[in-house]
């Protein structure tokens, strides 16, 4: 097997493994005999003395919103595939309009523990992505501590609901400032170092299916996530000459603190009702309302089911993929016209 083919096979295997929690095992044989040294594990073990199943080995990934949810899952998945991790989170409430519990310093510490359990280095940084100076300082710290930065995942986001005609300025401003401006701040803070390194790189934005279509009572969130797609495509055009790819992932409803709460569930149930939805729907009521949207028959996904796509986009197998959107939503994107 030539080295290029080996990398692609390894990356594909890694993606499959991460989807199973990073614990899948692959068996290779020579001359029809299987040996212990020929058993390949996707979290960085060896095969015939050569590490070929850790496609992110030697890479450093920066992930915002890393304290929990999708950000944590991507951090752990990338660590399982060989990357060292810089996890950034505000570890506090971002805005009074947010109605779910904020991440804490202990959440980010837990992410670090999970990364280290996979044998990788972890640098945790508390920073607000709305603060460009803080992100620039984080970029300097990451580069000095880790030596380089190869992958950036802009995941940090907030969500709140308010009808357009009832909005106060902060209902719009807080969401746009964090989700859209914060994502751009992340790129602007870390991309210069990636360009200077001259080795290419990967930038992955986390958008949302709500950026693909409108959201009743959620216009600020949808606008921010649609804006991220436009930002991604523009950045792909500008950074391609530096061999830096830029893509987005559009998750559907994911079982995280952002969506596993009364307000989000009420809005989800209301999408399929002509009467006002209940203020406190049960998990069963919410699941029943969401199931018709997903051909794969799931009301929502787990964060770990988004992570393998991020791993793929960070590997050499995706080196010719840029300016693209990857929907991870159990098939909800089948309803999307474009």
What confidence tens digit (pLDDT) does each residue in 234-288 have?
999 999 999 999 999 999 778 776 666 555 555 565 566 555 666 676 667 666 6
Q: What are phi and psi of 112, to 5 degrees?
A: -60, -40
Neighbours of 49 (CB within 10 A): 6
Burial class (CB in 10 A: 0-12, 13-18, 19+), 293: buried
Containing structural domain, residue 217: 3-23+52-254+303-328
Residue 71 resides in a domain: yes
All residues at 6 or more sequence positions from 87 whose CB lies less than 8 Å from its CB, including other chains: 63, 66, 67, 71, 72, 75, 108, 111, 112, 115, 122, 123, 124, 125
Same domain assignment for residues 295 and 309: no
Residue 176 pLDDT > 60: yes
Strands 151-154 and 122-126: unpaired
pLDDT band at 329 (very low <50, low <70, confident <90, very high): confident
Residue 335 resides in a domain: no
Residue 35 resides in a domain: no
Q: How many domains does the chain have?
A: 2
* Active site positions, annotated: 221
CB 28 within 8 A of CB 119: no
Name the average pLDDT for the chain. 82
Nearest to 293 by CA among 263, 309, 271, 265: 271
All residues at 6 or more sequence positions from 240 whose CB lies less than 8 Å from its CB, including other chains: 322
More confidently predicted of 59 and 30: 59
The terminus-to-terminus CA distance of the chain in angstroms comes to 39
Residue 40 resides in a domain: no
pLDDT band at 316 (very low <50, low <70, confident <90, very high): very high
Mean pLDDT of 115-126: 97
Whether the model clears a pTM of 0.75, i.e. scores above it, the answer is yes
Same domain assignment for residues 265 and 324: no
Same domain assignment for residues 173 and 289: no
Rounded CA-CA distance 121/141 in Å is 14
Residue 173 resides in a domain: yes
Q: Is the dihedral of CA 83, 88, 93, 96 positive or negative?
A: negative
Same domain assignment for residues 264 and 290: yes
pLDDT band at 18 (very low <50, low <70, confident <90, very high): very low
Same domain assignment for residues 169 and 240: yes
Share of the chain above pLDDT 90, in %: 59
Mean pLDDT of 298-303: 78
Same domain assignment for residues 106 and 224: yes
Residue 314 pLDDT > 60: yes
Q: Which structure tokens are listed for 233?
A: 């495509």
Residue-level pLDDT at 287: 61
Residue 242 resides in a domain: yes
Same domain assignment for residues 97 and 114: yes
Residue 37 pLDDT > 60: no
Report the CATH number at residue 19.
3.40.50.720
Share of the chain above pLDDT 70, in %: 71
Rounded CA-CA distance 329/249 in Å is 10
Rounded CA-CA distance 314/59 in Å is 9
All residues at 6 or more sequence positions from 180 whose CB lies less than 8 Å from its CB, including other chains: 223, 224, 227, 228, 231
Same domain assignment for residues 288 and 321: no
Residue 235 resides in a domain: yes
Residue-level pLDDT at 131: 97
Same domain assignment for residues 270 and 136: no
Residue-level pLDDT at 333: 75
Residue-level pLDDT at 274: 52
Same domain assignment for residues 169 and 73: yes
pLDDT band at 88 (very low <50, low <70, confident <90, very high): very high
Residue 42 resides in a domain: no
Mean pLDDT of 171-192: 97
Same domain assignment for residues 19 and 62: yes
Residue-level pLDDT at 23: 34
Same domain assignment for residues 281 and 239: no
């Amino acid at each position: 097997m030539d080295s290029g083919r080996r990398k692609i096979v390894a990356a594909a295997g890694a993606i499959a493994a991460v989807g199973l929690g990073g614990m899948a095992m692959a068996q290779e044989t020579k001359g029809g005999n299987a040996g212990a040294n020929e058993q390949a594990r996707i979290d960085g073990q060896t095969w015939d003395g050569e590490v070929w199943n850790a496609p992110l080995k030697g890479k450093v990934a920066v992930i915002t919103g890393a304290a929990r949810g999708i950000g944590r899952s991507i951090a752990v998945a990338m660590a399982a595939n060989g990357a060292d991790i810089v996890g950034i989170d505000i570890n506090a409430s971002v805005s009074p309009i947010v109605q779910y519990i904020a991440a804490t310093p202990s959440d980010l510490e837990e992410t670090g523990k999970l990364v280290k359990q996979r044998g990788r280095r972890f640098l945790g940084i508390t920073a607000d992505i709305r603060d460009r100076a803080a992100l620039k300082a984080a970029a300097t710290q990451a580069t000095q501590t880790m030596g380089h930065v190869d992958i950036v995942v802009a995941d940090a986001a907030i969500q709140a609901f308010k009808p357009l005609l009832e909005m106060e300025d902060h209902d719009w401003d807080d969401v746009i400032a964090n989700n859209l401006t914060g994502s751009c701040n992340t790129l602007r803070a870390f991309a210069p170092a990636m360009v200077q390194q001259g080795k290419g790189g990967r930038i992955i934005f986390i958008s949302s299916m709500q950026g693909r279509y409108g959201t009743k009572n959620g216009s600020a969130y949808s606008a921010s996530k649609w804006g991220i797609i436009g930002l991604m495509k523009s950045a792909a055009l500008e950074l391609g000459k530096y061999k830096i790819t830029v893509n987005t992932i559009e998750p559907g409803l994911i079982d995280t603190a952002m969506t596993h709460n009364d307000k989000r569930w009420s809005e989800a149930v209301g999408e399929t009702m002509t009467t006002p939805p209940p203020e406190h729907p049960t998990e069963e009521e919410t699941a029943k309302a969401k199931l018709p949207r997903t051909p794969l028959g799931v009301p929502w996904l787990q964060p770990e089911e988004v992570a393998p796509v991020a791993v793929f986009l960070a590997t050499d197998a995706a080196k010719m993929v840029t300016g693209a959107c990857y929907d991870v939503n159990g098939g909800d994107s089948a309803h999307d016209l474009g």
